[in-house]
Structure 1
């Protein structure tokens, strides 16, 4: 799963998650329609419209991250675009509605149910008699059997990324007719509905060669509302056209173009008319909102554009240099001003187009988590991991990301499901809420002492790191720095205040309420004089604070400055020891916190830096390392080169199957290495593994859900990863484009997407 805005988000999603996009058929049957726990936190936002209001024809250019390297979703390099293509051109037995509830896809399946439980589980599929492949052949048992053989794991000539579930099948047979498929399981399998979605034709699955190579760049035979027309890698797009053999509702669109556009380039592509539908990051969403006349939370337009960061002082200085006596400097500054003017003109032109778009928003069926690497170092101790977890204010972190976007700001309570899914239950109580004192007690119990002795070598290293961290912390830039390191004046750089996700009072926050624009020179001079006077007043106040202890309005002492800053002269500073790092065995407690540095990752970094500040309060120092998006996951998360990290997982429709490799206890491999599967925190227990094994074999749906929830509670208690918040889903769209946008849990219905007929009232 992905982390915010980072390009290779598909790398973080297992093939299992990419291909298993449905829930169990009756998994929500026991839930009340009015039970709030069965509803997603945010509904979908797709501008729904009946088919009779939609025009026939048209093209939608839909932004994707990549042109897929393979069209086979069961291969290791399949990505999100692979799955999107498969959803439009291949059969899926079930789809999800907007509340995450599974519904039978009647275009392919008339019914499917367990017909025998003893001595073996048997499932009977009855297929739609109109369902045919694009070559005219009926979809049937031969296709199911070929896919089972390819994915069963028995034939290693097939380069498969997973075989979960398929290895439990004993045989597949034709039923009483060609439209019946009878599947007998060797072991009971609760998640049987996850299989055969998507379903590939036997032409693909029949031999290792066709599976490994034949389906990578083309699919000769398909069976969806759309078919693949052309894959143009130079133009970075996949063109889908109507399938002439489609037996269901005729697609409203004549063409669907999946165009690969980097996320930080999508606003410009939308403005240039190259896209009609695009998932975007919060900054692009704010651009569109601003262009349309949207206001910040304080009622003023949001600050954007090439001149948004230009302060009055900078504008005055630029004017002065450009009109000064130093000809060389004046020419250089004039060139820079002309370049900025062109950028502003281009930006304003784009805004005039973006104002005609809308932003549709929901919550993505995925969550962001804090991962704690328990393989070695301080976090190998469960008490330290639990202390880190207990230091986090998850409510604050959810608010800071989601509240400025107008989305429900509630922390996620489960590793294995999200609100709206049948298996969801808030099991965070197994770990406990934010509690600074309890976190400190856990650290003390683990032997980490505040102000404890640190070996001389460690002291020297710490001093050097502290000095480097101080410089880095004063200048937010890529690299490594220590959050909370003080400079000589006692000032502490607060990274979150600069990137301030959702802080309306700070420039750069989601809700920034002031637009900084060049003002007349006289006003600029006045502003600079006022600024200087205010600074002088603050300096005088600082001097006065050194002479006395100043109470806050609530009677408590103010925070700030160095330890004992407000104590009377001659008084020992009781906070002196508290200012020193926690130490054990001569080593200070410091954790490497890895964060991405690419475009669009500013919100994630701001969350990381807020977390670092929370940990600093309990004495845990963090060395923040900002690394490139390209290496973030592969070189750091997957390889275990981190202590703390932020990344995301999608919510699985079948957690007993799909989540097990994420939380399975690592085991030694034959070559002496550690086999972690997808458990990149390296934290697991035998008990969690046993609960997953029991849940996946339990055919009673209620009991299987109960076992999944118990597993989740154990995962919380182990504190290897801490779910934080559900990811926002922001989609820019043409206002007359309907049945498309922020889908939330819903599986897109490709044949119903299209543009409103002329004269039909636009859906808001």
Structure 2
């Protein structure tokens, strides 16, 4: 049994010998994201002053403290609007100093120790009027350094390398001295909390979960109403920067499967949606322009209408007439509801880009066939990643390029395609690897139970552990507690399912068949996982690898299966980060034995890692030459590809329904939202 510790936040020869090729394509300073952001940009002069924007979130925030283990995506959205972020990400996913809080920030000394000097914006103050300064930096350092176990922190990366923090030449300067070099120093103090939050364990652990008395952003928190499922942010009267265009921003908890109805009812202005909802919005406009009727009415043919009319008028007796009249009334009511919703949905647009996150096939290397790196590489070499990406992204009109890196995405400075360290799809190479690992075609089969399967797993081809019927829907979003998404992505309706029939070969070893347990979630919103899983099963079948698909309840998918290691194959996502040397290390760190005999895996849920990868990350995070640090990150990525524990498949699509009058918001891509510039175009403000 392994234990997950939450932290934030080649060519292969058939003999099994690795021949390391180059570390990928060189960085291109002019590289751009695979897809641009789509936010309906507008100048502030084009926006109305005022209005309330209602923005859907998945759930109410578990905590307002971004450094606690149960912080989530809603926490991140709130803190982005109400707290200082010294560095934000631009459209290329690259960190930029935020002029609202910084006049400058730079490393002013490297020897004998690294010193970073922050020059703060002289107007920057907390909402209680106190200036932002060194005491706030010191308090956050003490809370997050890891030295005081009274603080229930989820991560301390970077803060544990600080030796001291001092006031500089004046109150506007903060000097941070490190005891060990830290390449990702820009990741620190974002968000920055006031000393009142970080100054004591009680305030950090408890008080900051539900309220923030002092903030320092364009908005402040007015109310967190858990009964109504809303968090209301209003303009901060002490904000010194460009004023917010909106009067209020209301974050409203709406489950993904209910967002189409909420949009149609006019109760939302902005919402991330799935493919089905995006299709309805697009169809609403297209059907109006084409004069087409959709929904329930589309199923009524002239023949069926005539038959229904005849039945309702007693052509086959009064009993059938009553049933027909009742059915006609229900159909007419459904048509009316659908038509009304479609009319209302015409007021929205679908804004789309690619999320700064990729969906991967995870291979659990802790036990069973996948503990053999040759089998893992065979799985990888069986996959046509280009086809998998095309299945998901092409129907949405989005670029369908398979990611070449685990640690960055196209457009980011750290991006380089290192996938050659493993190689593209090659059926013959995959089969040769399996043969080298001892898996041979034919032979007696002693048991149908897959090698390495956990006790209690079903021997059926498809099974569910939640006791519910297979409704053809999966969930799509899971997080690791820091608002960092770790689930699958969306797939277009109609993605083809695997071909039926008997597999052409059966590979066995010691009388056991090569069968892998493929775990997928079963709730609404993740249809792509099942569709992508089906395509993967087809590809693996072609090389003799069988898959046993197990569908599990959403609330147990990640915690009880991925994090606990109860799977062979699974699909989930990791977000890109501007600081891979820091943020990616726990994802790929080599699991270490704990005192009780279990494994401490941090966030490495594949349980695949090497000492060399760890060393490369450690060198990269302590290398202050940015070019040299990126080179080390690229080398680490090449080694991760070679280890074949994680196979990036496609960058996730980002689909956002926005009221057509909403400007400067939608599919943000990499870029940090600039909340003060979000608004309604003139003449269209909402209240």
SS at match of 2:139: helix
* Cα deviation digits, residues 538-561 of structure 1 (max 9, x gap): xxxxxxxxxxxxxxxxxxxxx999
Q: Shift of the alpha carbon at 1:665?
A: 0.4
Q: Work out which of the two has the higher radius of gyration on C-alpha atoms and give 1 or 2.
A: 1
Q: Is the 8 A contact 2:391 2:495 kept in 1?
A: no
Q: Give 1:177's aligned residue.
A: 170
Q: Give 1:26's aligned residue.
A: none
SS at match of 2:126: coil
* Cα deviation digits, residues 634-653 of structure 1 (max 9, x gap): 11111111111000000011
Q: Give 2:135's aligned residue.
A: 142
CA distance in 2 between counterparts of 1:301 and 1:373 reads: 52
Q: Shift of the alpha carbon at 1:452?
A: 2.1
Q: Does 1:268 align with 2:261?
A: yes
Are residues 421 and 233 of structure 1, via their aligned partners in 2, closer, same or farther at CA, if it must alter by over 3 Å?
Answer: same
Q: Shift of the alpha carbon at 1:317?
A: 9.6
* Cα deviation digits, residues 640-677 of structure 1 (max 9, x gap): 11111000000011010000000000011111111011
Unaligned runs of 5+ in 1: 1-11, 18-29, 481-499, 503-507, 512-558, 564-577
Q: What TM-score do you get using the length of structure 2 for normalisation?
A: 0.87
Are residues 91 and 561 of structure 1, via their aligned partners in 2, closer, same or farther at CA, if it must alter by over 3 Å?
Answer: closer
CA distance in 2 between counterparts of 1:291 and 1:131 reads: 46
Q: Give 1:447's aligned residue.
A: 438
Q: Shift of the alpha carbon at 1:95?
A: 1.5
Q: Shift of the alpha carbon at 1:579?
A: 2.8
Q: Does 1:240 align with 2:233?
A: yes
CA distance in 2 between counterparts of 1:395 and 1:711 reads: 23
* Cα deviation digits, residues 323-346 of structure 1 (max 9, x gap): 785977776676455434423321
* Cα deviation digits, residues 52-85 of structure 1 (max 9, x gap): 1111111110011111011000000100000100
Q: Does 1:600 align with 2:525?
A: yes
CA distance in 1 between counterparts of 2:234 and 2:387 reads: 46
CA distance in 2 between counterparts of 1:244 and 1:562 reads: 67
CA distance in 2 between counterparts of 1:31 and 1:447 reads: 40
Q: Give 2:487's aligned residue.
A: none
Q: Is the 8 A contact 1:15 1:74 kept in 2?
A: no
Q: Give 1:432's aligned residue.
A: 423
* Cα deviation digits, residues 301-324 of structure 1 (max 9, x gap): 999735668899999998899878
Equivalent pairs, count:
640
Partner of residue 542 from structure 2, selected from 611, 617, 625 = 617
Q: Shift of the alpha carbon at 1:100?
A: 2.2
Are residues 629 and 256 of structure 1, via their aligned partners in 2, closer, same or farther at CA, if it must alter by over 3 Å?
Answer: same
Partner of residue 196 from structure 2, selected from 203, 210, 225 = 203
Q: Is the 8 A contact 2:448 2:512 kept in 1?
A: no
SS at match of 2:65: coil
Q: Give 2:161's aligned residue.
A: 168
Q: Give 1:364's aligned residue.
A: 355
Q: Give 2:484's aligned residue.
A: none
Q: Is the 8 A contact 2:89 2:95 kept in 1?
A: yes
Q: Give 1:188's aligned residue.
A: 181
Q: Give 1:505's aligned residue.
A: none
Q: Is the 8 A contact 1:143 1:202 kept in 2?
A: yes
Q: Is the 8 A contact 2:608 2:645 kept in 1?
A: yes
Partner of residue 350 from structure 1, selected from 341, 354, 373 = 341
Partner of residue 478 from structure 1, selected from 470, 476, 479 = 470
CA distance in 2 between counterparts of 1:287 and 1:602 reads: 16
Aligned-pair Cα RMSD in Å = 3.2
Partner of residue 107 from structure 1, selected from 100, 116, 127 = 100
Partner of residue 515 from structure 2, selected from 579, 590, 614 = 590
Q: Does 1:305 align with 2:295?
A: yes
Q: Is the 8 A contact 1:57 1:252 kept in 2?
A: yes
Q: Give 2:83's aligned residue.
A: 90
Q: What TM-score do you get using the length of structure 1 for normalisation?
A: 0.79
SS at match of 1:387: helix
SS at match of 1:146: helix
CA distance in 2 between counterparts of 1:50 and 1:229 reads: 27
Are residues 629 and 314 of structure 1, via their aligned partners in 2, closer, same or farther at CA, if it must alter by over 3 Å?
Answer: farther
Unaligned runs of 5+ in 2: 10-25, 473-489
SS at match of 1:190: coil
Partner of residue 727 from structure 1, selected from 632, 652, 659 = 652
Are residues 456 and 283 of structure 1, via their aligned partners in 2, closer, same or farther at CA, if it must alter by over 3 Å?
Answer: closer
Matches within 5 A, 1:395-410: 395-410=386-401
CA distance in 2 between counterparts of 1:308 and 1:206 reads: 63
Q: Give 1:515's aligned residue.
A: none
SS at match of 1:288: helix
